[in-house]
């Protein structure tokens, strides 16, 4: 990873093969930049993990993940790699995609996925791990793995869509229009063009970054992740502990 971060640079830049991250005032714009459809190799996903894990050291409160303007969000894994994999390599690749989703989910940094164009395969899985999803009305989400004799993505998709909808995407390989994804609650807001999507995602990111500072910035996502995994009473208790801690510090 290369870093450009000094007192003379207002906006630190982090670069990995296929990814560019620009940081300003607690907000990071992380863009997938691997080509016109933004397909990602396993090697490039490893770089994504390194980059994402580096964000807290820059006191990033919110990250907006998107593709380059005018490109697709992410076409998923580069299928050209699949024909070259043996069983052990295929299992390692699947574990890597799981690590991508866990890195995003477990990070203390709040994540907003700005979804435009094609949001497919492992790109869709990664967006499922984000805290908030916004979409462009012309976008589509899908799991095309079955079209090339592969399988994956169903389980994490059931976290964001009804089970029957997740099964339909997984078994048919047919993409879902973003407007239907919005109606099903997969995306929280639907924008009428990519420019409006980018503007709204950054507006929301700045709002959240401004309101979550200090201990709240570093602990609120951990608390949410912990509490949702607990029974109601225990989850409520976890929230009480953090809330009391934050108020006592103010």
Residues 201 and 245 in one domain: no
DSSP, res 184: T
Report pLDDT for 247. Answer: 86
Residues 28 and 46 in one domain: yes
CATH of the domain at 20: 3.90.226.10
Instruction: Classify burial at 19, counting beta carbons within 10 Å of its beta carbon; exposed 0-12, middle 13-18, buried 19 or more.
Output: buried
Percentage of residues in the chain having pLDDT higher than 70: 94
Residues 6 and 63 in one domain: yes
Interval 106-124: pLDDT, tens: 999 999 999 999 999 999 9
Residues 197 and 226 in one domain: no
Work out the pLDDT band at 130, boundaries 50, 70, 90: very high
User: How many Cα atoms are found within 13 Å in the side-chain-facing hemisphere of 148?
Assistant: 13
Residues 126 and 222 in one domain: no
Residues 119 and 243 in one domain: no
Report pLDDT for 190. Answer: 98
DSSP, res 159: T
Residues 30 and 51 in one domain: yes
Residues 194 and 74 in one domain: yes
Check whether 6 has a pLDDT greater than 60: no
Interval 62-74: pLDDT, tens: 999 999 877 899 9
Q: Can you give the residue range of the structural domain that contains 45?
A: 2-211
Distance (Å, whole) CA 179 – CA 187: 9
Phi, psi of 36 (to 5 degrees): -60, -35
Which residue do the tokens 């208790």 mark? 237
Report pLDDT for 83. Answer: 67
Report pLDDT for 11. Answer: 57
Residues 177 and 225 in one domain: no
Residues 194 and 242 in one domain: no
Residues 32 and 91 in one domain: yes
Q: Within 10 A of 60 (CB to CB), how many other CB atoms are there?
A: 27
Total-model pTM: 0.91
103 three-class SS: helix
| Total number of domains in the chain | 2
Residues 205 and 221 in one domain: no
Provide the total of helices (H) and of strands (E) in the chain, helices listed first: 9, 13
171-196 mean pLDDT:
97
Pair 123, 147: CB distance under 8 Å = no
């Amino acid at each position: 990873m290369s870093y450009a971060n000094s007192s003379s640079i207002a906006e630190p830049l982090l670069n990995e093969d296929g990814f560019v991250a620009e940081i300003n005032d607690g907000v990071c714009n992380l863009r997938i930049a691997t080509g016109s459809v933004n397909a990602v190799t396993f090697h490039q996903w490893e770089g994504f993990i390194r980059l994402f894990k580096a964000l807290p050291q820059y006191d990033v409160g919110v990250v907006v993940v998107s593709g380059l303007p005018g490109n697709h969000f992410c076409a998923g894994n580069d299928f050209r790699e699949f024909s070259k994999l043996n069983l052990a390599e295929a299992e390692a690749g699947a574990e890597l995609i799981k690590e991508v989703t866990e890195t995003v989910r477990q990070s203390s940094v709040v994540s907003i996925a700005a979804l435009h164009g094609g949001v497919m395969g492992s790109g869709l899985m990664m967006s499922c791990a984000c805290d908030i999803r916004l979409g462009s009305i012309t976008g589509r989400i899908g799991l095309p793995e079955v079209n090339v004799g592969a399988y994956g993505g169903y389980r994490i998709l059931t976290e964001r869509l009804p089970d029957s909808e997740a099964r339909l995407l997984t078994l048919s390989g047919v993409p879902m229009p973003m407007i239907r994804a919005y109606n099903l609650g997969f995306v929280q807001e639907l924008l009428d063009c990519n420019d409006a999507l980018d503007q709204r995602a950054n507006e929301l990111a700045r709002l959240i970054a401004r309101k979550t500072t200090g201990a709240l910035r570093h602990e609120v996502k951990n608390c949410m992740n912990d509490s949702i995994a607990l029974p109601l009473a225990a989850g409520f208790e976890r929230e009480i502990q953090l809330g009391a801690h934050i108020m006592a510090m103010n």
